[in-house]
Amino acid sequence: MSDTWDSIFNVENVEGYFRASEELLIYLKVLIEEGYTGVVIPSRGVLPIYRLAKNIWFNDLKAMPNRDDRVAEKYKWSTSPIMSPVIIPFSADPKDAKEDTKSIRKFWSCVLAALVLRKGDDKFLLFYRFLVENVAKKSWESVLPRKLPNEKFIFIDTVVSGRAIVEILDSLESIGLNDFYLILVVDENGERIKENYLTKIEKYESEGRCQRIKVKNLFTEDRGPAVSGVWSLVYPKIMSSLRERYDWAENCYGAGTFYHKVSSGARLNGFKNSISDYNLPLTRMYSSLNLCYYLNVALKNQLKYLMDGGVGRELLDFDKRMEKAVNDIRKQYYMTMLYILKEMIDEFNAIPDMSPVNQNTTKKMAYPRIKEIWSEFDLNVSSSHLLRLDFSDEEINRLFSLFEREYLRGKDAFSTESDWFLF
């Protein structure tokens, strides 16, 4: 177990995520300047890199020596569409041969199209809002930014074999969405992309509509909320009932919702697992990885300060002194990250039944939180840490009566009491 963990959660891979985040931030800033109106994220695996990119920008602006420049850049940072992405769980979780992953991607593509085209009466979007408000029991405003992108958006996804992104691209094209820009975070430097999917990606690149960011080990993909910071729910029986009831939903599979609450909450009391905020193993890993990400940011800023300062350039052997100082600082940060990751791995090797990347740990985290909003339910977890939430036939009938009564009879998906959306 230790060898496996060491090969995944190591300094080299953490540094790879940092470099990918720096690259991502550069592309995002340029694309927003070129008129792209927002960011869409369909993948749990890309979220750590995206969050880190936002933090790098903030730390860069804090390091600006001129106050007026800092204020201007902070305003740009706080108002940028980069700060408020649209996160839609495109995750595919087919249950049987009838449920193909293409159909799952098609459902979410329809939801996205309704969002960017402002189609408030779209049944797919209305159903997604229904799931958010009545099954996940979250507010609609909590899952979408106030200012939504139009058709000219930036789509960021992870790529392993290329199958998922090509299915998504086919779906987006089939419903007329063609004005987006694609940023792909590619696992194993792209070596695992299959030739038939690579052709499609290269076509987008040749048209100037795609950029690949290569990482050696995309270790957040499908390893659960301890590394991605997100846990997702899907509703197999609800989706089956939807298909049976409505012709427009004939090929609807896999719709779900997501939660960001991975870190332990303020109500925690001695880490008692009877409390729904209990989440120590996942919190421990999530915070350790994020601390290592942040150390890369701090290292970058410290080296920049050191080299920009130029103090002592008149001294003999200045270049050698500078090189030694840089190497010493790098070594210090490297050893700190190594210690944090080793301590984390040693701790979890000692409690294998509570491994944060184990599906059962994800279920243990989610169960008490779902119990707070539903008294009776069935919960299972997939190999990719998707949580499958099901209800009794009686409860499903009640939910669909509500859907028909309050959502299908003239409701506008963008209408809220708080006038949340800015159009």
- Any idea which of 206-215, 349-358, 368-377 has the lowest mean pLDDT? 349-358
Each domain of the chain, given as residue ranges in start order, spans 2-279+359-406
CA distance 12 to 4: 14
Question: Whole-prediction pTM value?
Answer: 0.89
- Say if CB 17 and CB 51 are below 8 A apart: no
Mean pLDDT, residues 85-96 taken together: 75
DSSP string, 50-90: HHHHHHHHHHHHHT-SSHHHHHHHHHHHHHSGGGS-EE---
Q: Give tens-digit pLDDT for 255-283.
A: 678 776 665 544 433 444 455 555 667 77
Band (pLDDT 50/70/90 cuts) for residue 1 is very low
CA distance 222 to 147: 29
Check whether 150 has a pLDDT greater than 80: yes
- Any idea which of 60-69, 112-121, 388-397 has the lowest mean pLDDT? 60-69
Looking at per-residue pLDDT, the higher value among 349 and 97 belongs to 349
Check whether 315 has a pLDDT greater than 60: no
Closest C-alpha among 110, 142, 147 to residue 126: 110
Which residue has 């992405």 as its token pair? Answer: 85
The H or E element containing residue 237 is: helix 236-245
Check whether 316 has a pLDDT greater than 70: no
Interacting residues of 368 by C-beta distance below 8 A, sequence separation 6+: 273, 274, 275, 276, 278
> Residues 25, 56, 330, CA angle at the centre, nearest 5°?
115
How far CA 215 is from CA of 187, 188, 230, in Å, comes to: 5, 6, 21
pLDDT at 101: 65
Interacting residues of 172 by C-beta distance below 8 A, sequence separation 6+: 109, 112, 113, 155, 178, 180
